[in-house]
A and B are shown apart, each in its own frame.
Chain A
Amino acid sequence: MISHSSTAHPMPNSVVNLYVYDQSIAGVAKMPLDDFATAFGVPKESINLNSPELRRYFLNHIQIITEAKPWQTHIESVRVINSNDPIVREYQELLLNFICTPVKRTSTRDFTFKYDAIIHQVITHKIMVNVVQDWQGGILGSQVQVGEIALNIPKGQYFPLVVKLQNGSWWKGFGSMVSLGMYHIAEGADHLLFLLVLLLPCMLVPNGQNWGAFASASFGIKHMVKLVTAFTLGHSITLFVGAFQWIRLPQQWVEVWIALSIMISSIHAYRPLFAKKEGWIALGFGFVHGMAFASILMDIRLSAGALAWSILGFNLGIECMQILLLTVVLPLILWLSKRSEYILFRKVVSAISFLIACFWMLERIFFFKQL
């Protein structure tokens, strides 16, 4: 969240979010279209987002410099979005994706950010600069403000922003990936629900069209471990394959498949669909869930070594949360499965899960939002 704090500026400012990678720095710049039009010198209705002039404008006003050597800036995409601000309410913003790469390999942790889009003309404009990803610095997904480019009023000038990121390390990166993995499972209700319905009938013996009686504690626990291991194996494989982008599936369909996996598992928990083949099913659905995990890591754009390290950390985080879930769910299911009320409980839970999964399915088909 961007705090408006007490700046009391009635006009929205620019925000630049930086992604610090091993060998490059990418940025997403958001700026009010009105002010951009003023600075660009073209009425906002006549701005052509694909014009070479517009690209040249940004190439002239966005630069990263280390040791007096400018990096190369590349404009990846430009579009206009509708935004909302508590003060001016709805307004249009220009959203720019760029990436800066040093000509010769150099550290990406100490640099001068020479950004003066808009402010070169609109002197009252301000640019807030955040780092939203710095794997080595342990910043992932959060927003750390590193400074502001604004007019120094007494001096009558604005200055480039000198950024010195604290020393990073692979351990910090690894640690942040573990917590990202844990966070992802804890936040990802769909993964939790899938595991829950998968484990719901695992203590029971299938009896034709219905679930039968409680088997035994040792059978149940072994079964549960088998299912969880198969699921873990499945998602670990596709997490690895997906994160390295050896296979790339549309994110929307992966999400739809996850909803489907919960629907099918819910039916199975209600009455056996694939009795005795649960291991294979868990493995198969593990593949699907792993693709979803991978899409998170793909966005982080790490070098191969850091990526492998990250996959390990991320997966470890996921497993930690799974084990935590098991320690709660296992004794509960073990205890409940023996009771006669369990039939009703299992049916109600699986019916509710089915409905939730249906809802997700529809939502992901019709209201899918690319992250």
Chain B
Amino acid sequence: MKKPLINLVLLFIFILSCSKSEDPISTSGSTSNSSSTTTTTQVADCGGKLGVDKLICLCDNFKARLSSSQLASLQMAYTFSNIKTWSNLPASMSPRIGIPFSALNASQLAAAKEIVQQMSGTVINEGYSEVQQLWLADDYLSANGGGSAYGVGNYYLAFFGTPDSKGQFEIMMTGHHKTVANTYKDGVLIAATPHFAATEPLSWISGANTYGPLNQEQAAFVDILSNLTSDQFTQAHVSTTYSDLLLGPNNNWQFPSTSSGLKCNSLNATQKQLVINALKTYVNDIDDDNAAKILSKYVSQIDNTYLLHSGTNAMNTRNDYFRIDGPNVWIEFSVQNGIVFRNNVHFHSVWRDRIDDYGTTKN
């Protein structure tokens, strides 16, 4: 009965609070109190190092640039409850742990991004290139109606366990539409999953550049679909609707006990290559050496890998869905309604590993 009045008052408070909290969208050069308390630890030269050695060196350098309170946010314990905190929602709706980019000054931010770059591949539009584009996509959302919940400042970096050449640790970079979560043990990458990538908008123009961070993934699935025979297509296609990923955040270790769809052993060499091309659009997100190793494992299992599809073959309509499900590999791609751009669709996608997800940590 008194609702309209209460709503009016709430609306007023809401408007007031909103007008006060217009966060800067870009984090570069964002203010931080860290400079006054930066530790005196020496920053090493990581240039001569390679692979995981270089990564650990960069991690040490990053830590050396942080204040003790920043360090406390960054460095977390390696527990399953910590490592599963990624999401497909903005951090404001599904809180992340670690240190937000918005809390870093320019040199700290550069050091953080160097770590992500070292974890990622160099193939154009995949790897670090894709990460950077997805950061830009979030900035674009922020500037075009999404507001302060979006933007690269709301991405987080966390260390679970201490990055070291001995023992196990995970480095996670997570925000709204991208999560990179690599697990290392005794100086070797043991898991590159779960790995999440999504994009809204699907593509946009900024300056002289046109971006479409997940266009290659989409095109790779369309390629597979358009080269199947009608018999193969019938086996791959299901009439059931998938409005979302099956194994998104929180659905950990829930892999279907039986795989379904079209088994790839019936594909010819050209068709198999199209599946491998699709795998590459995920595997190449990880540093090039490890990408090659993971890919060769997935390729060796291709005859036992299944393809499942629902919706249209163009993979551009709400509820379109594609899945690659092998002994190890698990990739899902889902076309969903837009959130900020309501009249468009947007892509969600996850790459997991049936055996090695989270470096086999289950609880």
CA distance A264 to B94 in the complex (A): 52
Chain B proximity of A125: nearest CB distance (Å): 7
* A124 x B242 contact (CB < 8 A): yes
Asked if A156 and B241 sit within 8 Å, CB to CB, the answer is no
Query: Are the CB atoms of B87 and A88 closer together than 8 Å?
Result: no
Stretch binding the partner chain, chosen from B47-55, B129-137, B246-254: B246-254
Q: Is the CB of A8 closer than 8 A to any CB of chain B?
A: yes
Q: Which one of A8, A35, A368 lies within 8 Å of B250 (CB-CB)?
A: A8
Q: Is the CB of A10 within 8 A of B251?
A: no
B124 to chain A, nearest CB (A): 29
Instruction: Please report the C-alpha to C-alpha distance between residue A367 and residue B5 in the assembled complex, in whole angstroms.
Output: 10
Q: Mark A18-46, 1 if CB is under 8 A from B, else 0.
A: 00000000000000001100110000000
Question: What residue in chain B is nearest A187 (Cβ atoms)?
Answer: B2
Q: Are A8 and B243 interface neighbours, CB within 8 A?
A: no
Asked if B4 CB lies within 8 Å of chain A CBs, one says yes
Q: Which residues of chain B in 153-176 are interfacial with respect to chain A, using CB atoms and an 8 Å cutoff?
A: none
Known: A122-B241, A124-B243, A154-B256. A88 touches B250 (CB 8 A): no
Given A7-B250, A367-B4, A122-B243 contact (CB < 8 Å)? yes
Are A153 and B94 within 8 A (Cβ)?
A: no
Tell me, in angstroms, the Cα distance from A9 to B319 when the chains sit together. 14
Q: Which A141-155 residues have a C-beta within 8 angstroms of B?
A: 151, 153-155
Q: Could you tell me if B260 and A34 are in contact, using CB atoms closer than 8 angstroms?
A: no
Residue of A nearest to B87 (CB): A8
Asked whether A255 lies within 8 Å of B1 as measured between CB atoms, the reply is yes
Chain B residues positioned under 8 Å from A4 (CB to CB): 93
CB of B257 within 8 A of CB of A8, answer no
CB distance from B272 to the nearest CB of A (A): 26
Complex alpha-carbon distance, A154 and B247, angstroms: 11
A363 at the interface (CB under 8 A from B): yes
A11 pairs with B254, CB closer than 8 A:
no
Residues of A contacting B87 with CB < 8 Å? 6, 8
Q: A60: shortest Cβ distance to chain B, in Å? A: 17
Whether A80 sits at the interface, judged by CB under 8 Å, is no
Question: Contact at B244–A363, with CB atoms within 8 Å?
Answer: no
A109 within 8 A of B: no
Contact A35 B243 (CB under 8 A): yes
A8 touches B88 (CB 8 A): yes
Q: Is the CB of A9 within 8 A of B2?
A: no
The CA of A9 and the CA of B250, in the complex, are separated in Å by: 10
* Inter-chain contact B241/A39, CB cutoff 8 Å: yes
| Chain A 175-203 residues near chain B, CB threshold 8 A | 189-190
Q: A368: which B residues are within 8 A, CB to CB?
A: 1
For B4, the chain A residues whose CB sits under 8 A away are 363, 367, 369
Residue of B nearest to A189 (CB): B2
Nearest-Cβ distance from residue A152 to partner chain B, whole angstroms = 9
Distance in Å: Cβ of A313 to nearest Cβ of chain B:
23
Whether, in the assembled complex, B237 has its beta carbon less than 8 Å from a beta carbon of chain A, the answer is: no
Could you tell me the distance in whole angstroms from the C-beta of A43 to the nearest C-beta in chain B? 12
CB distance from B270 to the nearest CB of A (A): 31
**A86 contacts chain B at the CB level, 8 A cutoff:** yes
Asked if A81 is at the interface (CB within 8 A of a chain B CB), the reply is no
CB 8 Å contact bits of B302-327 with A (1 = contact, 0 = none): 00000000000000001100000000
Given A87-B93, A153-B255, A9 and B1 touching (CB < 8 A)? no
- Whole-angstrom distance between the alpha carbons of A71 and B193 in the complex? 47
Complex: A367 Cα to B6 Cα, angstroms: 13
Is the CB–CB distance between B260 and A156 below 8 Å? Answer: yes
B204-257 at interface with A (beta carbon < 8 Å)? 240-251, 254-257
- Nearest Cβ distance between residue A153 and chain B, in whole angstroms? 4
Contact B255 A154 (CB under 8 A): yes
Q: Does B348 contact A (CB under 8 A)?
A: yes
Q: Does A128 contact B (CB under 8 A)?
A: no
Residue of B nearest to A251 (CB): B1
- Contact, CB under 8 Å: A9 / B248: yes
Please provide the chain A residues from 80 to 101 with a CB less than 8 Å away from any CB of chain B in the complex.
Answer: 86-89
Shortest CB–CB separation between residue A358 and chain B, in angstroms? 13
Q: A88-B337, A154-B255 are in contact. Are A363 and B5 (CB under 8 A)?
A: yes
Contact of B244 with A9 in the complex, beta carbons under 8 Å: yes
Q: Which residue of A6, A89, A121 is within 8 Å of B241 (Cβ)?
A: A121
Contact yes or no, B1 A369, CB < 8 A? yes
Knowing A8-B250, A10-B336 are in contact, say whether A369-B242 is a contact too (CB < 8 A).
no
A38→B94 contact, CB < 8 A: no
**CA A126 to CA B4, docked complex, whole Å:** 32
* Contact A156:B243 (CB < 8 A) given known A7-B250, A87-B93: no
The residues of B that contact A371 with a CB separation of less than 8 Å are 1
Question: Which A residues are in CB contact (< 8 Å) with B144?
Answer: none
B89: interface (CB < 8 Å) = yes
Whether the pair A154, B254 counts as a contact (CB closer than 8 A) is: yes
Query: Which A positions have Cβ atoms within 8 angstroms of B?
Result: 4, 6-11, 34-35, 38-39, 86-89, 121-125, 151, 153-156, 189-190, 255, 360, 363-364, 367-369, 371
Known: A124-B246, A364-B1. 12 other contacts (CB 8 A): A8-B250, A9-B248, A11-B243, A38-B319, A86-B93, A87-B89, A88-B337, A153-B255, A154-B257, A360-B1, A363-B4, A371-B1
Interface CB pairs A-B, < 8 A, 9: A8-B249, A121-B240, A121-B241, A122-B319, A124-B242, A156-B257, A156-B258, A190-B1, A363-B4
